[in-house]
Amino acid sequence: MTCEQVLSVDVTENNAGSFPIGVRILVVESDPTCLRIVSKMLQVFGYEVKTATRATDAMHILREKEDEINLILTETHLPDMDQYEILETVGELSSSPIVVFSADNNESTILGCLFKGAELYLVKPVIKNDVKNLWQLTYRTKLKTAVSGEGSNTFHGGSAEQNTSSLTVGNPASTMGMTDQKGKRKELEETDNDHEYIDNLTAPKKSKLVWTNELHNIFLQALRIVGVDGAHPKKILQHMNVPGLKKENVSSHLQKYRLYLKREQDGMQKTAVLHQHLIHKEGSLNTQTRNSS
DNA sequence: GAACTAATAT
DNA sequence: AATATTAGTT
């Protein structure tokens, strides 16, 4: 079997760095054999693998444990969902980067997936080298928090291996025209066309903090630790332990996050009412369990 | 005053 | 829309 050959991954190649270790990846693949092979490959490199064979299973996992997933690897030909539907649905459910792997080698299919939000498209058969560096996608936009005025930080954990060096992960522009796709590559985007004169010497340019997926995940992790009672900016900030991050940053993000939760909850109430009706029917059937004598 | 958060500004 | 900043409350 070629399967077993693929499984003989050279573990020695993994010694270069311990980077994929701890990266949690959700693999969605309907074919059990393929799922097993890919999962094994990932595990050898140190990924933490969760699996699903159906789109609905994947959705359940994401709904309940979205913050425990860093990366999603999915097939597009699933029994219970169309190829692009899975991308759309998962994209709404999770902020993690989505990688598609499929045997379909059509250019239009590949581009379609990329336009639908996939970060990367791998053509089967997937080999170890395809999978080895996927963890880099979780660092898609690096943390840039190095600013002046570093206060006293007496606490360091070890959670963040944030490397600001060149983690060049191509981000397929999501705002491209869809009809014209020729192989135009722009490697350099040095946009010097800003003719804005900075009047003052003491204006080093404030750059807004960008809440990347990674940063948001740290935020969610901190939220989980402090619990609902302690979900306040100062405590969250301490648990996040990200250098340069300010309490105000967390406050702002927390506000946005709460709005998001509320909006989600309001949306859920409609469906919740429907479910309640169903439950009520079942419940009324069971009410006669307590018939004495 | 410090921390929190809702409201507002960029 | 996302993030920063202000302002009002505890």
Closest CA to B7 C1' — which residue?
A255
Of the ranges A60-64, A250-254, A259-263, the best mean pLDDT one: A250-254
User: Which residues surround strand C, with CB < 7 Å?
Assistant: A 206, 208-211, 248-249, 251-253, 255-256
Confidence grade of residue A271 (pLDDT, cut at 50, 70, 90)? low
- The confidence score (pLDDT) of residue A283 equals 44
| pLDDT-wise least confident of A64-68, A83-87, A99-103, A169-173 | A169-173
**Chain B bases under 7 Å from protein CB?**
3-7
The mean pLDDT of chain A is: 71
Tell me which of A217 and A134 has the higher pLDDT.
Answer: A134
Closest CA to B2 C1' — which residue?
A234
Closest CA to A75 of A42, A46, A38, A48: A38
Please determine, for residue A106, whether its predicted confidence score (pLDDT) is greater than 50.
Answer: yes
Phi then psi for residue A71, to 5 deg, are -155, 145
Residue range A216-223: average pLDDT? 85
Tell me which of A194 and A20 has the higher pLDDT.
Answer: A20
- Distance, in Å, from the CA atom of A180 to the CA atom of A198, rounded to the nearest integer, reads 38
Distance in angstroms: CA A240, C1' C4: 20
Distance in angstroms: CA A246, C1' C7: 19
Please determine, for residue A16, whether its predicted confidence score (pLDDT) is greater than 50.
Answer: no
**Chain C bases under 7 Å from protein CB?**
2-6
**Contact present, A241 and A160 (Cβ < 8 Å):** yes
Tell me which of A208 and A106 has the higher pLDDT.
Answer: A208
- The confidence score (pLDDT) of residue A3 equals 44
Residue A232 contacts strand B, CB under 7 A: yes
Residue A233 contacts strand B, CB under 7 A: yes
Closest CA to A101 of A88, A272, A86: A86
- The confidence score (pLDDT) of residue A73 equals 95
Confidence grade of residue A93 (pLDDT, cut at 50, 70, 90)? confident
**Contact present, A54 and A80 (Cβ < 8 Å):** yes
- The confidence score (pLDDT) of residue A252 equals 98
pLDDT one-digit tens code per residue, A149-192: 333 333 333 333 333 322 222 233 333 333 333 333 333 334 44
Nucleotide nearest to A247 (CA to C1'): B3
Confidence grade of residue A245 (pLDDT, cut at 50, 70, 90)? very high
Token pair, residue A277, equals 């009706």
Tell me which of A196 and A243 has the higher pLDDT.
Answer: A243
Residue range A253-270: average pLDDT? 83
